[in-house]
Structure 1
């Protein structure tokens, strides 16, 4: 009781009696006091909050999230914890530095040991120090990486998916033991060399890089282009056409091999953090023991691409989700005509269209990963997801830039990176047209490939 009296006294000391007199001429103070006296503690707290804010209670806004259907809640507690761990890493370690590195087209090598501590590399593989988690978790990780920066996600996809995946699926046991543990810990860096200066979509039958058997050695000649991680990789998976049987074979090329040269590609407008290289092979000698022992034709190469293409679809989701969330946050803070632009109908329409695409994409890739975990994934499944998600991502990032007006092209607002990087996602790991033909063949029974 004494504390209540003391509190009332402290309040009374601060009352402006003149103001109270003027107020009594406008309202019935006894009636107001009686009404206030009937309020419970929660109601009183709300009233005080409103009075402190000048008569208007501060509006509690919904959280900024692109997971509108709560797909993350379908994860186990362990998987959800890992998802949040990756998200925290990206937001704390990558977000503060990403624009500077993207602008300068440099890679933040200092983050590699920290990324290794997450223990997510080779996440779906069994043994060799790999976590052996689900393909769904692999997709979630790809999305979380791309949600902050698609370049980091691409770097990781090359290392964990294309390079490690080639060795895991097609290498001998000796090759797996030599390379995979170090690659899993990010102590050995890998690259994947398939695309050539004049050969992209036609890689299945048109590779110009050649391999010639010479006893227990192979001689490699040719060029590879757009090879991510190539400038610093310790081992490169090189795909070449055997001149004797005309079949595509894979080789593990060590970075110090004589005749191997790589030049960094400059002037890219997308994925600027990724260190893409132009590789030239001049009479490179590779031991038979460094040939991928189970890679005998392009069908084997396609096994790797099928596995990783699902991850690219997840990357597209992450890119779109990152752009949407930055745009949503921006529109709630940016004011024009006296109120946040998020309060205007046209802006809300753009936001809803973005969210619709992001939600459709997320539900699609979730089912895609379920098929992969059940051993039911087919080429056409991965291709359809790549087509749809990369196409919709373009639409999402375009609208994200649109609601930001001129600020949408500034790096400081983040969306500009996603706009540019979406163009790379749209093309790599199979163009929209090539993937469409894969799906078209599956649903019609006719192959439209040349």
Structure 2
């Protein structure tokens, strides 16, 4: 089974080493044989296949010595294509795994003390210590920086947390909740690792979602929750620190977009080759070929954006808004085109496309709505803020 990436017109995958290609092929094979059979029924029921995490951790996708460079980390290019492999199968699978080894691990490594990182990193990689990122709130999503309502109050050697969080992915399958709260009186924005079993913590799954049904997004309520100073990540004291910690992860949304577009393309081209009308496969008709070509063109554009921003780290907080806007727009179009190719059969879960179509809507909302990102970019271009009217 070759590592094919339709749309990689500039040969970005050629930059992968033999060891990286072998690891990606191992991942693809594992996903096809052990995860793919679970997806349709789990998606329909809204079940989270949390059991996939342990076997994925055993593949050593992050810390296999053959993958590590002089800096002790896998290459950025490999990390990107790893995300592609996961989201090419399913965005929910990518989040169930990547929310731990990407988002949670990065926040700990970039926000924690050296002692905390040494103590926790191996357990995070092995999924012995699981966690999620609890930032958004019921009344504040894209505007959370100006509306953070969860509070942290110092009492002796402890902190007391009160507030609510919403749309927190992986919250119900995590041992630790990385809660972002505003310090009472001081105004600092702080990060705490709160045990999900701590008194005063309540988690409930948000039900009846029409997208990302493999991921358990949750409502979290914190009432008088006590944690010690040892649970605070000391290098997080502002939203600027959070942005610094996550800057390395910002291109991930483009990589996930590439993977999902590839998954939709795989499903569409396979269907077009086997589906016959008027005695011939529909793949031979111009209208179908035009849609397939447009999907591949969208993949090529998104992949180029993903690679460039990964291999040349972002130095600002505006560029991610452009990445998100382009990646989400291209994904939405590609998923819709794939759905058109399958016609009514595109609505059947067994044909995969409808999962990508629905989950594209979730991706469209990640990292802020399109409108919010337009406002950020518009302010950068003109120097005038249109966030408020007055």
TM-score by length of 1: 0.81
**1:300 and 2:241 aligned:** yes
* 1:279 aligned to which of 216, 220, 244: 220
**1:235 and 2:176 aligned:** yes
Find the counterpart in structure 1 of residue 113 from structure 2.
172
Q: Is the 8 A contact 2:179 2:194 kept in 1?
A: yes
Find the counterpart in structure 2 of residue 290 from structure 1.
231
Find the counterpart in structure 2 of residue 89 from structure 1.
30
**SS of the counterpart of 2:44?**
helix
Q: Is the 8 A contact 1:313 1:389 kept in 2?
A: yes
* 1:158 aligned to which of 99, 110, 114: 99
Q: Is the 8 A contact 2:254 2:305 kept in 1?
A: no
Q: Shift of residue 383 of structure 1?
A: 2.4
Find the counterpart in structure 2 of residue 270 from structure 1.
211
**SS of the counterpart of 1:437?**
helix
Q: Is the 8 A contact 1:317 1:393 kept in 2?
A: yes
Query: More relative contact order in 1 or in 2 (CA 8 Å, sep 6+)?
Result: 2
Q: Is the 8 A contact 1:368 1:382 kept in 2?
A: no
Find the counterpart in structure 2 of residue 412 from structure 1.
350
CA deviation map 1:293-327 (0-9, x unaligned): 01111111122343322112211111111101110
**SS of the counterpart of 2:223?**
strand
Alpha-carbon distance in structure 2 between the residues aligned to 1:426 and 1:327: 21
Q: Is the 8 A contact 2:268 2:338 kept in 1?
A: yes
- CA pair 156-121 structure 1, distance change in 2 beyond 3 A: farther
Q: Shift of residue 390 of structure 1?
A: 0.9
Alpha-carbon distance in structure 1 between the residues aligned to 2:38 and 2:31: 10
**1:209 and 2:150 aligned:** yes
CA deviation map 1:320-362 (0-9, x unaligned): 1110111011101100010000111111111111111111111
**SS of the counterpart of 2:235?**
coil
Q: Is the 8 A contact 2:150 2:182 kept in 1?
A: yes
Alpha-carbon distance in structure 1 between the residues aligned to 2:197 and 2:368: 30
* 1:439 aligned to which of 360, 369, 377: 377
TM-score by length of 2: 0.93
**1:346 and 2:296 aligned:** no
Q: Which has the larger radius of gyration?
A: 1
CA deviation map 1:197-236 (0-9, x unaligned): 1110111121111111112211100110111111121111
What 5-or-longer segments of structure 2 have no aligned partner? none
Q: Is the 8 A contact 1:138 1:311 kept in 2?
A: no
Runs of 4+ in 1 over 4 A off after TM superposition: none
* Aligned length, in residue pairs: 382
Alignment of 1:38-49 (within 5 A): none
Find the counterpart in structure 1 of residue 324 from structure 2.
386
Alpha-carbon distance in structure 2 between the residues aligned to 1:339 and 1:65: 27
Q: Shift of residue 178 of structure 1?
A: 2.8
